[in-house]
Structure 1
Amino acid sequence: MRMDLQYFAQEKTEKATPKKRQETRKKGQVAKSSDINTAVILLLVFIFLFVYAEVPGEFMHHLFIKMYLHNTTMEMNVENVMSMFASLLSEIAIVLLPIMLVALLAGVIASMLQVSILFAPQAIKPKMSKINPIKGVKRIFSARALVELIKAFLKIILVGFAAFGIIWIYVDDLLHLALLNFRTGFYMVSWLTGIIGISCSLLLLILSVPDYIYQRYDHEKQIRMSKQDVKDEFKKMEGDPRIKSKRRQRAQEMATQRMMQEVPKADVVITNPTHYAIALRYDDQVMQAPTIIAKGTDYTALRMRQVAELNKITLVENKPLAQGLYDGAEIGQEVPEDLFRAVAEVLAYVYRLQRTQAT
C-alpha cells in the first residue's frame, strides 16, 4: 500500500506551476514548431522574390555578357582570375544580401509569434549528454523520431504533388521555353518558381498547424509535475525570504488601503503632529467607548492627515495622547480606560467646533 502511495505521489499528473514554466523557459524549453519557421521563411522569401526578381535577372544577364564577351579576351593569369572571382563574389553577395535579410527577418517573426521574445543562454551551453551515443541511438529509434519521419514523408509527397500539378498546368509554356530569349525565359521561369514556392509554402504552413498543436501538447506533457513536486515547490517558495518579504509588503499595503477607507468615517484624527496619527470614532448608539479605526506612523500618518483634510475631518494635535493611543490599543479596539478623560475632552472640543461651524 505504501509503495502504491509513493508511485502515485511521483507520477507526473499535475500541470506545471508558473514557477516551473518560468524555469523551463529560461532553459529554452518552449513549445515551438520548426515547421512554422520553415513555412514562414519560404513564404516571405518567395513573396519578396516576386518583387525582387528583376534584380537577379539583370545581374545574370550582365554576368553572361561579361563572361562570354569581355572575359574571353582577358589574359588568363593568377592575378586576373583572382580579381575576376573577387568581383564576382562581391556582386553575388550584394544581390543575395536582401534575400538573406528577408529570410532572417521571417525567421525572427515566426519565432516571436510562437514564443515571443526569449533569450535563453542556457540552451546553447555545451552538455556532454548531447553527445552521448546511447542517448543518440534512443532518440533515433524513439516514437518522436518515428513521428518526424512520417511527417517528412507526408510533406515530401504533398509538396511533390503540388509542384507537379503546377508544372503540369504550365507544361505548354515550358515546352516553348527554348524559343524565348534569355531575359523573357528567365522571367517566366522565375514567375513559375515563385508560384510553386508560394503554393508549397502555404501548404507547409497549413501542415505546420497540427505540428504546433502536437508540440504544445508534448511540451505540456514533458513539464508536468508530480504531486510531491508541487508540494516541494510550495514549501520552497514559502521559505524564500524574498517571497515572504513581498507578501508582507503586499499585506501591509492592503491593510493601509483599508485604513484609509476608514479615515473618512472618523470623528477626529489625533496627531503628534508628524510622527503619529490616530483616527477615532464614537457612536453612542452602538459603542460603549470611542474606538480606534485607523492608526499609523510617519508616511502612513501623513496619508491619514491628507485623507482627513480632504474629507474635512477635524485634526487635533496632542502629542502625549497620540503616542499613548498608538501604544495602548490596536485598530478596532476601544481606547484604554486611563485615556478616557483626555479623549472625552478632545471629542467635546470637536463636537463644539462642529456645532459652531454648523451655525
Structure 2
Amino acid sequence: MAESEDGQEKSELPTEQRLRQAREKGQIARSKELGTAAVLLSGAFGLIMVGDALGSAMSDVFVRNFTIERATLFDPESMMPALGSSMLGLAWPLLGFFIIVLVAALVGNSLLGGVNFSSQAMMPKLNKMSPAKGLKRMFGVQSMVELLKSVAKVVFIATLSISILMSQLDNILSLSNETLRSAMVEATELVLYMGLLLCMALLPIVAIDVPFQIWNHTRQLKMTLQEIKDEYKNTEGKPEVKGRIRRMQQEMANRRMMGDVPEADVVVVNPSHFSVALRYDKFTPGAAPKVVAKGMDEVALKIREIAREYEIPVISSPPLTRAIYFSTKIDGEIPDGLFVAVAQVLAYVFQLNSWRKGQGTRPVPLKEDLPIPDEFKV
C-alpha cells in the first residue's frame, strides 16, 4: 500500500474534489493500447470498405500514366494536368479512409477518461528537466511495468504473426501460379485478412490494459485519512469559523427582526419564556395576521422591552403564544386553526386602543381560555 510523505497509509479512495483537481492537471486514466487498437482496427476496416474504390482509382492512374502518348510525353505543359488528374482520382478514396481513421483515433483515445483540455498540463515544469528525476522515472516501477508490457506485446504479436503466416503459407505460394491481375486481387485479400487478424489480436491486450489503467490511476490518487479531513475543513470551513458565521448571521437577523417590532399591533407572551409580535393590516381585504417577530428567553425579553417603549399592548396568553411560536415562521401568516383566538386578541387590542383615545367604553378583559385546536397545543 502506498504511503504519503508523512508516513501515513493512503488507504482511502479519492474524493470527488481530488478527482476534479487531478483532471484539471491533466491526470486522467488513459490507455495507449485502446487508442492504438482503435486506429489499427478502423484502418483495416477502412481499407476493406474503400478497397475496391482505391484499387480502381490506382488502376486508372497506372493505365493513364503507362499508356501516355508520345506527343504528351514530350510536352512540358502536360505534366501538371496529368499529376492533378492522378491525385484527384486517388483523393476521394483516400479521404474516406483518412476520415475513418481520424474519427477512430479521436473516439478511441477519449473512450477512457473522456475529452479533457488542461492548461496546467501544457505548462512547462522545471522538475521534469532534472536529470536525477529523469533517471528515477526511467528506472522506476511504472517504467518497468511499461517495459514488461512492451516485451509481452512484441512476443505475443510476433508469435501470432508467425502462426498466421504459416497457416496461409500454401495460399501465398500458390499466388505464383495465378495471372498477374488474379494474383494481385488475392494478395490484397490475404494482406487485409492477415492485417485484420493481427489488429484483432490487440483486443485481449486492451481488455487487460484498460482495467489496469483505471486501477493504477485510482491507486495514485488515493488519500490518507488526514488528507480527507483537511479537504473537508478547507471545503466546508473550520467548525469554529462556521459557528462564528452562524452567530453573526443570527445576530443580523435578530436586529432586522427587532426593527419590525415597533410596527406590531400586539405582542402575546408566555411570561417566562416566549414572545410573539403580531401585525394585522385591516385595510387589505383578505389579509391574515402576520408574525413580525418572535423569540424565547433573552430575545423574548428584548421584544417586550421594545413593545413597552413604543406602547404596544402586551397580552399574556401562554397557550396561544406557544402555539404561534411553534407553528408560524417570521413574516408568515397565522394558521387557519388559530384565526379565532388571534381575532379575539386583536379585537380586544383595537377596542383597548380606542378606549385609550377616549372613544368607546373599556373592553371586557380577554378570556384566558382562548379557543386553540388540540393540534396546536404544545
- TM-score category by the smaller chain? 0.5 to 0.7
Task: Flag the 1:92–1:143 CA change in 2: closer, same or farther, 3 A.
Answer: farther
TM superposition shift of 1:92: 3.8
1:57-206 matches, within 5 Å, as 57-70=55-68, 74-75=72-73, 80-206=78-204
Given residue 172 of structure 1, which amino acid in structure 2 is its aligned partner? D
Identity of aligned pairs, percent? Answer: 25
Classify the secondary structure of the residue corresponding to 2:329. Answer: strand
Of Structure 1 and Structure 2, the greater helix share is in 1
Q: In the alignment, what sits opposite 1:8?
A: 7
d(CA) in 2 for partners of 1:319 and 1:71? 114
Gaps of 5+ in 1: 249-269, 279-286, 323-340, 349-359
Structure 2 residue 294 is the aligned partner of structure 1 residue 295: no
Structure 2 residue matching 1:12: 3-state secondary structure: coil
Q: Residue 6 and residue 194 in structure 1: after superposition, are their counterparts in 2 closer, same or farther (change >3 A)?
A: closer
**Aligned equivalent of 1:39:** 37
For residue 119 of structure 1, give the secondary structure of its aligned residue in structure 2. coil
In structure 2, relative to structure 1, the CA distance for the partners of 1:193 and 1:296 (3 Å cut) is farther
Map residues 259-278 of structure 1 onto 2, 5 A cutoff: 273=287, 276=290
1:57–1:187 CA contact under 8 A, matched in 2: no
Q: How many residues align?
A: 282
Deviations 1:57-107 (A, max 9, x none): 112211211221127763457654455445444444432222221122222
Alpha-carbon distance in structure 2 between the residues aligned to 1:43 and 1:320: 86
Q: 1:12 to 1:46 in 2, by over 3 A?
A: same
Which residue in 2 is equivalent to 1:219?
217
Which runs of structure 2 are paired with 1:318-337 in the superposition (5 Å)?
none
Q: Which residue of the partner structure matches residue 312 of structure 2?
A: none
TM-score, normalised to structure 1, is 0.64
Question: Retained in 1: the 8 A contact 2:337–2:372?
Answer: no
Question: Does the aligned pair in 2 maintain the 1:16–1:225 contact within 8 Å?
Answer: yes
Does the 8 Å CA contact 2:31/2:209 hold for their aligned counterparts? yes
TM-score computed with the length of structure 2 as normaliser: 0.61
1:53–1:187 Cα contact (<8 Å) kept = no
Post-superposition Cα deviations, 1:238-257, rounded to whole Å, max 9, x if no partner, equal 239xxx8xxx9xxxxxxxxx
Q: Is the 8 A contact 2:338 2:372 kept in 1?
A: no
**Where does structure 2 lack aligned partners over 5 or more consecutive residues?**
247-277, 281-286, 293-317, 347-365, 374-378
Aligned CA distance change for structure 1 residues 67 and 127 (closer, same or farther; 3 Å): farther
Aligned mates of 1:319, 1:51 — CA distance in 2: 86
Per-residue CA deviation, residues 100-120 of structure 1 (Å, 9 max, x unaligned), is 211222223323431234333
Separation (CA, whole Å) in 2 of partners of 1:209 and 1:61: 40
140 and 87 in structure 1: CA distance in 2 versus 1, 3 angstrom threshold: farther
Structure 1 counterpart of 2:267: none
2:53 corresponding residue in structure 1: 55
Match of 2:7, as an amino acid? F
SS of residue paired to 1:57: helix
Q: Given the superposition, is the C-alpha separation of residues 6 and 57 from structure 1 closer, same or farther in structure 2, using an over 3 Å criterion?
A: closer
Cα distance, 1:194–1:13 mapped onto 2, change above 3 Å: same
**Structure 1 residues 316 and 274, CA gap change in structure 2 (3 angstroms):** closer
Task: For residue 111 of structure 2, give the secondary structure of its aligned residue in structure 1.
Answer: helix
Classify 1:189/1:320 alpha carbon distance in 2 versus 1 (closer, same or farther; 3 Å): farther
Shift of 1:38: 0.9
Offset at residue 201 of structure 1 (A): 2.0
- Return the alpha-carbon distance in structure 1 between the equivalents of residues 232 and 185 of structure 2: 65
Distance, in Å, in 1 between the alignment partners of 2:368 and 2:75 is 110
**1:210 Cα shift?**
1.9
1:13–1:295 distance in 2 versus 1, CA, 3 Å: same
- Tell me by how many angstroms 1:132 deviates: 4.4
Question: For 2:367 and 2:35, how far apart are their aligned partners in 1?
Answer: 77
Partner of 1:355: none
- State the structure with more CA Rg: 2
